[in-house]
Amino acid sequence: MKMRTVKLHVFSENIYTGKDLNERYFINKAKKIFKYYLGIPEVFEASCLNGHSFNTVSFDFLFCNSEKTHEINREYRNKDYPADIITFAVFADSRDDEKFILDGEINLGEVIIALDKTAQEADKKNKKFDDELLFLISHGILHLLGFDHQSEEDYNFIIKLQNEALAKL
C-alpha cells in the first residue's frame, strides 16, 4: 500500500509541566518520519501493517515525566525503574487473530516519553533537546511498526533507520 493513499492521525498529550512543548511541531515531524519509514519497501514489508487492508493509521504520544514512566513500568512491565520511552505497540504485539481494524483504521498504539529524562539524556550526549526527542519519537514509531532490538543486528538496523529518517528531516 502506498503511503499517499493512507491517512495518518497522530495525537499527543503533554502532562509534563516542566517543559513547554510545541506538540504540533513534533507531531508533524513524527508524521514525516512515519511516512519515510513506510516509503522504504523492505521496512513496510517487515512491518506489522504488511498483509492488512487499511486506509488510515493512528497512534498517540504521551509526554510526561520519569515518575510517570516509572509508575507505568512497574504496573505494566514489572520493571522498577523510570524509562525515557515506553511503547505500547498494541497492533504489532497482538496475535493475527486479535488484530483490530475498525472501518479501515489501524491504531498502532502509544509512545510514552519522559521529557525530564529526554532533557537529561540530551545534556549527557551534548545534544539539543529537540534532537533527542526526535530520536526517541523515531525509535517509538519503529516499535509501533513491530520492530524490536533483541539482537545487536536488530539494534544496528533500527539505529541506521532512525539516523536516515532524522537526516531526511
Judge contact between 115 and 146, C-beta under 8 A.
no
What pLDDT is recorded for position 77? 93
CB within 8 A of 133, min separation 6: which ones? 26, 113, 115, 118, 122
Q: Tens-of-pLDDT digits for all 169 residues of the chain?
A: 555 578 999 999 999 999 889 999 999 999 999 999 999 999 999 999 999 999 999 999 999 999 999 999 999 999 999 999 999 999 999 998 899 999 999 999 999 999 999 999 999 999 999 999 999 999 999 999 999 988 999 999 999 999 999 999 8
Residue 14 belongs to a domain with what CATH number?
A: 3.40.390.30
Judge contact between 162 and 138, C-beta under 8 A.
yes
What pLDDT is recorded for position 96? 87
Q: What is the pTM of this model?
A: 0.94
Only one residue has cell 545534544, namely: 127
Instruction: Report how far residue 151's alpha carbon sits from residue 54's, in angstroms, rounded to the nearest whole number.
Output: 31
Domain count for the chain: 1
List the domain range (segments joined by +) for residue 49. 3-168
